[in-house]
Structure 1
């Protein structure tokens, strides 16, 4: 029998937490709710959920701080950041903290469910609405002195046009299958490119690839 995946909800708004329970069950089992950021890590350690949905701004400790601590501790629980703020800087910080997902609270239920599914599959997910803002953010940060794509990556590393296209789709929140369809490639080819990119850019996760792409403005 397949075990129902366990989810912890961490948000200082109790009514919002209760609403999430209704949105998640019975597909997922909500094992607990936390209303103070300072209590989140203790509850994750005690309950060992598969996924923790954590508000970006909570009393005591932010969701991004929780993700950073989880990364250092090496715990297996996947952290998805929830927020009502559609500020690209929050998303960038979440990526830097190696969060598995970033979802806006006002997005449709299916966006959150997709984020959880992707996290459980070991992938990262960016709310499509935020992905658009990230693209604009990356372009705005480049200014008039924007370097060419080959100049923006690590010294000695040159990315092909295909590799840059794969990176762009990652930032936009496309799934592996969607990227393959858009580029006319097989799913295995996209997975190969993604693995190759991780080695080239010196990162170990998809979130790391997304952060690298944003911070180095690797867009045409």
Structure 2
């Protein structure tokens, strides 16, 4: 029987190598990458059945990477494996089309269960958050969703790179756009969000989970 192909995206190499031993007996592990941009490139190259991704990754976080992934590859399932117990991250994961949300300190068998559920077209949320997630959706303030919704996908990419400390020139090279375009996105975001400095942009990125402190 043909084994399902799994791509692993996690910037903690020790964690990723540990997961190799867990996954390889049941699945074909086609690659391990360490940031969101490398994840998107690896998906195009390897065509996995399931991507196991962390939420917090450099260059492009897991949530935004999956948002871009789903625009091109709706049939590829995604399971998030993360240390974030905050229900807001789980809600964001489902909103961008993830099929699973598992915590790193959960039993290893839970990840395998989530992957198998994803392969069957089902959704798996760690029991530690499932009940809380229902309550979160009932109480979620619409104003917070509106703030982040003002930004385009490209602006979110620029915002994360700015918040990580990359210069305008570095961001232009990473995104393969001009420095003028980077500056345009930066000041467009500041105007749209009512922010007055790069420091306020960084605080906004942390508050909304685009990067973690």
The two structures have a TM-score, normalised by structure 1, of 0.61
Aligned partners of 1:34 and 1:85: how far apart in 2?
Answer: 20
Q: CA 1:43–1:129 in structure 2 vs 1: closer, same or farther (change >3 Å)?
A: same
Aligned counterpart, 2:57: 58
Aligned partners of 1:52 and 1:119: how far apart in 2?
Answer: 10
Q: State the Cα deviation string for residues 34-83 of structure 1 (Å, max 9, x = none).
A: 01221110001101111110100100111111221122113422111121
Aligned counterpart, 2:22: 23
Aligned partners of 1:44 and 1:35: how far apart in 2?
Answer: 13
RMSD of Structure 2 on Structure 1 (CA): 1.5
Q: Which ranges of structure 1 fall in alignment gaps of 5 or more residues?
A: 143-220
Q: State whether structure 2 residue 127 is matched by structure 1 residue 128.
A: yes
Q: State the Cα deviation string for residues 105-129 of structure 1 (Å, max 9, x = none).
A: 1111121111100100011111111
Secondary structure in 1 matching 2:81? strand
Q: State the Cα deviation string for residues 175-195 of structure 1 (Å, max 9, x = none).
A: xxxxxxxxxxxxxxxxxxxxx
Aligned counterpart, 2:77: 78
Secondary structure in 2 matching 1:129? helix
Alignment of 1:7-18 (within 5 A): 7-18=6-17
Secondary structure in 1 matching 2:98? coil
- Contact kept, 8 Å, 2:81 with 2:111, in 1: the verdict is no
Runs of 4+ in 1 over 6 A off after TM superposition: none
- Contact kept, 8 Å, 2:7 with 2:29, in 1: the verdict is yes
Secondary structure in 1 matching 2:136? helix
Aligned counterpart, 2:115: 116
Secondary structure in 2 matching 1:56? coil
Q: How many residues align?
A: 141
Q: CA 1:42–1:77 in structure 2 vs 1: closer, same or farther (change >3 Å)?
A: same
**More off after superposition, 40-49 vs 124-133:** 124-133
Aligned partners of 2:65 and 2:76: how far apart in 1?
Answer: 11
Q: State whether structure 2 residue 93 is matched by structure 1 residue 94.
A: yes
Aligned partners of 1:43 and 1:26: how far apart in 2?
Answer: 21
Q: CA 1:75–1:138 in structure 2 vs 1: closer, same or farther (change >3 Å)?
A: closer
Aligned partners of 1:116 and 1:83: how far apart in 2?
Answer: 14
Alignment of 1:139-158 (within 5 A): 140-141=139-140
Q: CA deviation at 1:136?
A: 4.1
Q: Which ranges of structure 2 fall in alignment gaps of 5 or more residues?
A: 142-213
